[in-house]
Structure 1
C-alpha cells in the first residue's frame, strides 16, 4: 500500500530524513517507532502529501502523493497536533469532509454518534477538551472510509475505555474492509497489542523493518545461573547485546532463536536456564544498540 524509497528531506541544512526506505503492505497495521527527532512525523507528512521530498519516492497504491488529489482521497489522517477551523463544529466538519471524500459514509456518521456520545457535535471543536477533540477526529476519519489511515500519537489524551473502543473500531475496519493503518506512537505497549509489522527509525533511517513476531523470534532474554558465580567465556559467534546480573542471576540479551540460544547455553550445565520473550519496548531499546541509547538496564 505504501512504498517509500530512499527519501531525503532537509530543513535548514539538517537532514530530517536520510535515505529512508520502508514498505507498508495493504491491510496491515504498521507501527512506526523511534526516539524523539528520528523523523517519524516528518515521514508521515510525506506519506499524507503535506511535504515534498528532496529526493526519493513516496507512493500510495502505486501513485505519488504530493499534489495528487486522486491519491489523497484514499487517505485519512489524524496528526499529533489537531487543526480545525476555529468556529467549526464536528457536524460542520462532517459536511466539509463529505465534499472532499467520495466514500464518506454519512450513515456511519450517525451510527458512530453512540460510540462518541460524549462529543457535542454542535459545539466548536476548539472549545472541546483535548480528549474530546481526539474523539471527534476519529469520528470524522473513520467515516471517510479510507483505504489508508495514518495516525500520529493517535490515542494521546483518551481515557483507557475510549482507547479500547477506538482501537476496536480501527481493527474492525482492518478486518472487514482491508484498511491499511500506519501508526506512530511512543506507547509501545499499546502498539504491541495491535501491530503486525514494525519499523524502527533512528536518525532519519529505518534500522529494522519486520513483522512483530519475527522481531520477537530474533531476540531473546536469557536468565541464567551458572555453577560458578562468574559468567563463563561464551562462544565468540554468540551475539550478546547486553549482560547484567543481580546476585548470581545473569541476564543476557542475545540475538537469535530462543531454542538455539538455550541449547548453546545448556552445554555449560547451568543451575537455572530460562528464556523470556521481549516486549516491543525492550526490542526497541536493544535494536537501537549503539544509536545514542544507554538506558538498556531500565528494562531488566
Structure 2
C-alpha cells in the first residue's frame, strides 16, 4: 500500500505538490492525469524516493522511500525520459539490473525479449523514443517489482506496443498483485487499464476515485420535452451542465441511472436517451463543477 499524507514538495518558492493526500491499495492500477505542470512527474519522483518532501510524508508498505534501499528494491520507476548508461546496450543494462535487484528474473527477461522486436546488441542511445521505452519496460517487468511507476509510458509507442504493454501490466497485476501508478495525458489508454484515477491540477488533487464508480455516477442525457417550465420541472435532478439545440436538450447529470430515468420519464418526454461518457468527458464535467478553467487542462 502507498499512503500519501499532506505532501508538500517545493522548488524554490513554488510548491510543485501542495499538501496532497491519497491512498493507493496493493494490486491496483492508479492513473494520474492533469495539465502540464500539475505535479504528476514530481509526485512519481517523490514516490520513487528521488525527491525528499518539505513536509508531509509518503509511506510505501509503512516505510518512507527517500534514501531507503529496502523500499527502492520493491519499486521500478520509468521516467518520461528513461535513463540508461552512456553507450550501453540492452544486455549491459540487464546485467546492471540483475545485480541491483534481488528479484531479477532472467527467464522473464528472455521471454520479454522475444515479445519486443529489439536488437539486444544495439546501443540504446541510437534507438527511437518508443524503442527506448520498450527497453525500459523489459527491464522493469524482469525486476518483478511490487510497485511500477510509469511517466507518460504510452508516448512513442505504436498501437501494437501499447496493447502489448497493457496486456503485460494487467497480467502482472492479476497474477502477482503488482501495484501500478501511471501518469499520462492519454485518457483513452488509462480508461482501458486503470481501476482508480486521480486528477491533479496546480500541485493539488482535484479528486481521486474508483473509475467504475466515477463513470457510473455521471451521465450524458439527450431529451426532447413538450412545452413546459423546464427548469422548475428538473429542479430535483443534479444537473452539472445543460445546453439546448433547437428542441433537443443536452444534460450532464450526476446520480444513479435508474433514478435519473425515473424522474425524466415522469415528465413524459417526447424522447430521452442516456449515453455513455468517456473518461475525458467525466473529468471535464467534474472540473467544471470544481471551478477550474478546462481550456488549460487536459490539452
TM range (shorter): over 0.9
Distance 2:228 2:83 in 1: 59
| SS of corresponding position for 1:108 | helix
1:5-45 residue CA offsets vs partner (Å, 9 max, x unmatched)? 11011222111111101111100111111122211111111
Distance 1:186 1:98 in 2: 32
8 Å contact 1:231–1:250 — kept in the other structure?
Answer: no
Counterpart position of 2:157 = 158
1:177-201 residue CA offsets vs partner (Å, 9 max, x unmatched)? 1111111111111111111111111
| SS of corresponding position for 1:71 | helix
**CA deviation after TM superposition for structure 1 residue 246, in Å:** 2.7
Question: Does residue 278 in structure 1 map to residue 281 in structure 2?
Answer: no
Structure 1 residues 85 and 294: CA distance shift in structure 2, 3 A = closer
Counterpart position of 1:292 = 293
Unpaired runs of at least 5, structure 2:
none
Structure 1 residues 235 and 126: CA distance shift in structure 2, 3 A = same
**CA deviation after TM superposition for structure 1 residue 237, in Å:** 5.0
1:28-83 residue CA offsets vs partner (Å, 9 max, x unmatched)? 11111112221111111100011111110111111100000000010011111122
1:95-120 residue CA offsets vs partner (Å, 9 max, x unmatched)? 1111110000111111212101x211
Size of the alignment, in residue pairs? 296
| SS of corresponding position for 1:112 | helix
Q: Which runs of structure 2 are paired with 1:1-300 in the superposition (5 Å)? A: 1-116=1-116, 118-228=117-227, 231-289=230-288, 290-294=291-295
**CA deviation after TM superposition for structure 1 residue 162, in Å:** 1.2
| SS of corresponding position for 2:113 | coil
Distance 2:109 2:9 in 1: 37
Distance 2:230 2:137 in 1: 52
1:235-276 residue CA offsets vs partner (Å, 9 max, x unmatched)? 445332111233221110112112112222222221111112
Unpaired runs of at least 5, structure 1:
none
Distance 2:296 2:281 in 1: 10
1:111-130 residue CA offsets vs partner (Å, 9 max, x unmatched)? 212101x2111111101111
| SS of corresponding position for 2:49 | coil
Structure 1 residues 9 and 147: CA distance shift in structure 2, 3 A = same
Q: Normalising by structure 2, what TM-score?
A: 0.94
Structure 1 residues 234 and 60: CA distance shift in structure 2, 3 A = farther
8 Å contact 2:199–2:205 — kept in the other structure?
Answer: yes
Distance 2:174 2:183 in 1: 20
8 Å contact 1:241–1:255 — kept in the other structure?
Answer: yes
Q: Once structures 1 and 2 are overlaid, which stretch shifts more, 222-231 or 75-84?
A: 222-231
Distance 2:256 2:33 in 1: 23
